[in-house]
Amino acid sequence: MDSAFQSLLLPSVSSPQLLQQRRPMAQDDPVVSAQWLQQHLGQPDIKILDASWYMPHESRDAWQEYQVAHIPGALYFDIDGISDRTTHLPHMLPSEEAFAAAVSALGISNHDKVIVYDGKGFYSAPRVWWMFRILGHDKVWVLDGGFPQWQASGFNIGSSCLDDAVLKSRAANSAVETAYNGELANAATFQTEFRHQLLWTLEKVKHNVAAKAHQVVDARVKGRFDGVMPEPREGVRSGHIPGTKCVPFPEMSDGAQTLLPADEISKKFEQAGISLADPIVLTCASGVTACILALGLYRIGKHDVPVYDGSWTEWEALPDNDYPIVTSAGS
């Protein structure tokens, strides 16, 4: 990151204590403020992505909401569309080729600084942040507080969707289809570099249940983790992988849906019985909210924490004798 960009990531405060506390934003922090983004709108190397995504039971249409209101210049990144087309599991990480084709279709290059936000404030944007990082792009940040914080700050909102923006978003999804169909497409301009250490598979998680080399941390809310609340997806049981601990994803943010300070994030993990000095792997329902925990851990200096992409949706669907389920009742 260039020095000018580092300095601009710092908050405009006069308190030396606060400035010192927030200084990691310059190099190592995974979020930027709405104020910073507003000051840099329109710069050619700043690319903004609306990565809003909602569960089916929420009855919200992220694509429709984007077309009605979004941060000026933002393009829509479809988590379900830019995904692995070879699995029945929802929105799994796409292949390098497919991701490169999609990102290129969005007009993003390896030199660009990517800012991702979502409509809840702090929900699905960290998933796209993780996707860029696992595929080699470090110049990516989440907008702290997301679209709600942008609105609350009184900044301009794009209320009409330009044809070019619609075409680019649709082209990104089409590029994924083309890549998985093995058809020739326009040469991708975005280059990927897959970081295997940030991704865990079913086999790794199963091995770890016995080996216990990594602490497995689940981001779902406690009721679902304990098996006393239903999962939002029809046909999916609640409960958790043996040996897993729970840090619910809402605990990473405050009432304004902004990322907690590093010391408070550390306390959340420590209170759940997790040693921050030892290896951690993250899971959730389908690989989305685990990335919120990854973002929090990144803030406290743990930059290489992997995510189990298939997560609970994959584990729960398999035979219990090989992939056991634990609930608060002990079953």
Sign of the Cα pseudo-torsion (144, 146, 149, 155, in order): positive
252 residue type, one letter: M
Residue with the two structure tokens 């970081």? 195
Using only C-alpha atoms, what is the Rg of the chain? 19
Q: Is 161 a catalytic residue?
A: no
The DSSP annotation for 291-308 comes to HHHHHHHHHTT-----EE
**HEC assignment per residue over 126-159:** HHHHHHHHHCCCCCEEEECCHHHHHHHCCCCCEC
Under 8 Å between Cβ of 250 and 280: no
Instruction: For residue 147, give both structure tokens.
Output: 């679209």
The active-site residue out of 161, 246, 284, 291 is 284
d(CA 210, CA 172): 41
Q: Which residues are catalytic?
A: 284
